[in-house]
A and B are shown apart, each in its own frame.
Chain A
Amino acid sequence: MTQKALDLLKTPKTASQLARELGLTPEAARLLLHQLARRGYAKPLPCGTACGTCAFRGACQEPGEVYWWRT
């Protein structure tokens, strides 16, 4: 599961997207991402201040979601 997660994160994914691929709940996938980040295997991709005012933000991100990718 962790190896599959790392392979999937070669392209940025939100926790919900990763959860769907791994068959986990989004909350468990989010914890997995944080734990992978803890040892430098993944990192969040902050969208900075630009996303805050982007009218199309809802199209690529669910409320409260951020993208993660493999480092």
Chain B
Amino acid sequence: MSCPRCAPQAPLALKAEERWALVGNPNTGKSSLINALAGADLEVGNWSGTTLERLSAHLSVGEGRVELVDLPGTYSLLPTSPEEALVLKELLQNPPDRILNVLDAGNLERNLVLTLELMELGLPMALVVNLLDEAEAKGLRVDLEALAEALGLPVAGAIAARGQVEGVLEAALGALAPKPPVRYPAPLEEALAALEPSYPNRGLALLALLGEAVPLPEPLLRAAQEEREKLLRKGHDPYLLALEGRYQKAKEVYEKAVQRHGTPSPLTERLDRLVLHPLLGLPLFLLALFLAFRFTFALSSPWVDLIGRVQEVLAGWIAASPLPPLLRSFLAEGVVAGVGTVLAFTPVLFLLYLALAFLETSGFLARMAFVADRVMQWAGLPGKAFIPLVLGFGCNVPAVYATRALAHPLDRLRVALAIPFLACGARLPVFTLFAFVFFPKNAPLVVLGLYLLGLLVGLATALLLGRLFQAGRGEGAMELPPYRFPPLKLLLRLSLARTGSFVRGAGGPILVAVLLIWALLHVPLGATSPYALLAQALTPLFDPLGVGDWRLVGALIPGFVAKEVVVGALGVSFLGEAGLAPLGLLEGLRTLGEAFGHALAGTLQGLLSLVAPVSFSLALEPTPLQAVLKDAVDPMGALAYLVFVLLYTPCVATLAALRQVVGTRWAASSVAYQLLLAYALAFLAGHLPLKP
């Protein structure tokens, strides 16, 4: 949309390389806009020095190359959260070449408050009014020309989720340095007039006058402080005066640009009466989570199995090769197993990200957070924290990544460090093996007790961290966005980009850990392996727990790679190693073909199982191992061992996820904390006055 008031200003020439920042309120469809403009090349990373997700994409515009960067959603440049503070910091310290201010057509008045603030920074800017379809459904029509006229900036309309972004690039190329449109009450204008000549722009002068932290030389800050004190002495809080000016102007522009032409659709209101119902809300929320969970695990398991079969075939081919035995073992049980461990997480992560992205972009996640908020209040956590905590019972890795949906870094830290205590699916085989051997009459109770103990310790950790850092309660959700049906393309691209980020970030550390464990197990050191030597050296430490067999202690070492490996390691230690089975080329290809067929059939079965009744079963391990275990430890020692397996250091993939989400220092602290806590609680469990 051309802008009559902008005509005297020539548009900026496009440089060979530019960075355009997308700035807007949360839920304005900035990610959809990037997706629609740049296609499949989404890049997911972290903002420098933070663990906040950074979404960007590159596109060619004429002769130039443009990086589109999605800044975190913010309501204002007066920040109330770390995300909002990051936006202000980025705009001031690393100013983009152009700002694309994305506005929600259905919430234009609120969005304009941020627009007016951005305009005071003086950076070249254009507006994109997105979600025009939703505004229409609310009975609102936005006059883009009137908006351009009122603000003096180029404006484009868009429905980015449907790919309707014509005119956005044209508006961006026509971006102009804005003229600040807000006239504040006289006392504030007078103070600004005194400061503006020495300040880079009106926005910075105003922020300094309001007492906000801005990176400016000391004399400028002192001058602002003097003006601020003058105003306060006269009974004027510049903060209230600034709000007055902005909201008045936002109201004025809104009234010029938006016309109501009908009544809003009652669908959102009707659905909300059901979804946010005081009694039905929580069961519906749990049902949605259960479906997301089931979708993830039912559809991912055939592909995880396929990756396992590919690993077996590759290992078989390597075993059949004429290489020296140690090199064969290194390639098959080190490299192939390591890459397989990384890849085995990708189907789970991809599908979980898909389910979460659907819940998030459809508007359900905001409502779930609202419903769970009351439940989580007692732990001092926001409602959104409920989601990763529940996911943690399936697999800790995606649960740790899911904490990224939490806005406050302290909440993210508390929940992320609580998750490794939750008994994931990989720990269940160890629990069932020992519970049925040592507590045959009370096995289900023992397994349930372990799950509850994990949950209790996790929540206690979150509470402890909250007390330690004096976490305050947030003010709840700012808004409940309308229900939307998100485009599948966007969901797929976001899920792919996030899964790719896991492989790049966590893949290396996992591979290194697997190779280290391989070296411990297979590189001979005299007559025995370093694994046996290390296990024997560690065993005296476990004597007080009632676990005196080095083979039990040794199985905890590969358990660091994945907790389910503990059972396999016990089998090898107690019953002997099966060794690598050589495989012919054709036989391997046939196995791969069959495995692929099984994966496709399994996916179909998984889809059908989504609507089938739920069944629960506990799988028992084969008896030879059970028989030998009985002689290795007594029941109380076995209970101590189970508590230790539940609580000790997270698996390497969880650790890699923790490192990405909360940083290396906290991930390392988590390992130490978990080991100490696991030891202490296992000791207590081993000395409980119980009769097995």
Contact = CB atoms under 8 A, between A and B. Distances in A.
Interface residues of B, number: 37
Given A1-B244, A39-B239, A34 B478 contact: yes
Interface range on chain A: under 10, 10 to 19, 20 to 34, or 35 or more?
20 to 34
A1 B240 CA distance: 10
A1 B110 contact: no
Interface in B432-486: 473, 475-480
Given A24-B251, A32-B243, A38 B78 contact: yes
Q: Which of the listed residues A23, A35, A36, A44 has the most CB atoms from chain B within 10 Å of its own CB?
A: A35
A3 B239 CA distance: 12
Interface in B29-73: none
Interface stretch (B270-278, B553-561, B613-621): B270-278
Given A24-B251, A32-B247, A34-B75, A64 B272 contact: yes
Contacts of B239: 39
Interface in B242-260: 243-244, 247-248, 250-251, 254
A46 to B, nearest CB: 8
B75 A25 contact: no
Given A1-B244, A24-B109, A35-B78, A30 B278 contact: no
Contact of B377 (A38, A39, A49, A58): A49
Contacts of A44: 475-476
B254 to A, nearest CB: 7
Contacts of A30: 110, 478-479
Given A23-B251, A44-B476, A64-B480, A31 B278 contact: no
Contacts, number: 88
Nearest to A39: B239
Contact of B278 (A37, A38, A51): A51
B107 interface: yes
A23 to B, nearest CB: 7
B76 A31 contact: yes
A49 B279 CA distance: 12
A63 B272 contact: yes
A30 B239 CA distance: 17
A35 B79 CA distance: 9
B389 to A, nearest CB: 18
Contacts of B344: none
B370 interface: yes
B247 A1 contact: yes
Counting chain B CB atoms within 10 Å of each CB, the highest count among A38, A41, A46, A63 belongs to A63
B110 A28 contact: yes
Contacts of B273: 58, 63
Given A38-B80, A63-B273, A66-B476, A53 B244 contact: no
Nearest to B108: A25
Nearest to A54: B278
Contact of B276 (A27, A49, A64): A64
A57 interface: yes
Given A27-B107, A27-B110, A28-B250, A41 B278 contact: no
A23 B109 CA distance: 11
Contact of A52 (B254, B278, B378): B278
B151 interface: no
A19 to B, nearest CB: 10
B240 A3 contact: yes
B109 A28 contact: yes
B374 interface: yes
Given A34-B80, A57-B278, A64-B276, A27 B479 contact: yes
A37 B244 contact: no
Contact of A36 (B241, B243, B473, B479): B243
B494 interface: no
B113 interface: yes
A2 interface: yes
Given A28-B109, A28-B110, A49 B374 contact: yes
Interface of A: 1-3, 23-25, 27-28, 30-32, 34-39, 41, 44, 46, 48-49, 51-55, 57-58, 63-64, 66
Given A41-B240, A63-B276, A64-B370, 19 more contacts: A2-B241, A2-B243, A23-B251, A24-B247, A25-B107, A27-B109, A28-B107, A28-B110, A31-B75, A31-B76, A31-B110, A34-B80, A35-B243, A39-B237, A48-B377, A55-B278, A63-B269, A63-B272, A63-B480
23 contacts: A2-B247, A3-B240, A24-B251, A28-B250, A30-B110, A31-B75, A31-B76, A31-B110, A32-B243, A34-B478, A36-B243, A39-B239, A46-B473, A48-B374, A49-B378, A55-B278, A63-B269, A63-B276, A63-B480, A64-B272, A64-B370, A64-B477, A64-B480
